[in-house]
Amino acid sequence: MGLLNLEEQLTFYAQYHRHKVNVLIHIVCVPLIFWSSLVWAANTGPLLSYDEDSLWRLTPFVPNLSLLSVLFYINYYILLEPVAGALYAPILLYMAYNATNFAADHSDHNVLAGIVHVFSWIAQFIGHGFAEKRSPALKDNISQALLLAPLFVWLEILFSIGYRSGLQKRVKKQNKFFLKLEIGGLHNNDNLGLRSGK
């Protein structure tokens, strides 16, 4: 699966997010998980020169792990989907800015971020267990699931207002195909069980 092949990446991720309730839970919780992680990442403090004469002082940002992580995500998303990635960039940058300020303003920021983080993960596992009725994508490919999740929920929002409807249709079509394969595999396993007398 190509890391820069958007359709393949979305098809993989969409296989684990078919139910509308589960998708909605992820649209809310994935950004919260990402933001809370950025709060923790802000603990590093500046990782690049941040002296009084530093160019960083001309920006609202602190070059900590939170910002550097967001810049990595932005670059990856723009490579995957230039328009959606560029539209998402200001939101991600604001999340890094907000997370850094939150960490600076609240002495108990790690605990508060932890509460948000744990609550959001629990909500997602509930969505997978009760709505989706299957394990989350991270069980099969944790690095890919964590890397793609923020873009996936952003594209879900864009798809809902008509963005790249052709791509959305192709992903849904492939998703239905994989679902049929899964159902067929279950039926075959049931038949094998019957034949073996189980």
Looking at the domain assignment, is residue 179 inside a domain? Answer: no
What residue numbers bound the domain in which 52 lies?
6-164
Residue 175 lies in a domain: no
Are 135 and 15 in contact by the 8 Å Cβ rule? The answer is no
More confident residue, 33 or 189: 33
Taking a C-beta distance cutoff of 8 angstroms, is the pair 19, 131 a contact?
Answer: yes
> Residue 159 pLDDT > 90, yes or no?
yes
Identify the residue whose tokens are 């997978």.
128
Q: Is residue 78 part of a domain?
A: yes
Residue 159 lies in a domain: yes
Q: Is residue 29 part of a domain?
A: yes
Mean pLDDT within 132-150: 77
Alpha-carbon span 176 to 57, nearest angstrom? 51
Q: Determine the Cα–Cα distance for residues 146 and 139; give it in Å rounded to an integer.
A: 11
Q: What is the pTM of this model?
A: 0.86
In total, how many domains does the chain have?
A: 1
**Averaged pLDDT, 80-103:** 98
Count CB-CB contacts under 10 A for residue 92. 24
* 60 located within any domain: yes
Domain contains 171: no
Decide: 36 and 69 in contact? Cβ < 8 Å: no
pLDDT digits (tens, 9 = 90+) for 98-128: 999 999 999 999 999 999 999 999 999 999 8
- Section 59-66 average pLDDT: 98
The amino acid present at 80, given as its one-letter code, is: L
Look up residue 126 and give its two tokens: 């509930």
Per-residue DSSP letters for 160-185?
Answer: HTTTTHHHHHHHHHHHHHHHHHHHHH
Q: Does residue 186 sit within a domain?
A: no
Degrees, nearest 5: CA angle 44-49-51: 105
Least confident of 84-88, 151-155, 193-197: 193-197
Q: How far apart are CA 30 and CA 154, in angstroms?
A: 10
According to DSSP, residue 60 is labeled: S
Q: Is the pLDDT of residue 74 over 80?
A: yes
Give the single-character DSSP code of 134.
S
**Confidence band, pLDDT 50/70/90 cuts, at residue 40:** very high
Please write the tens of the pLDDT for every residue from 164-192: 999 999 998 988 887 777 776 544 444 33
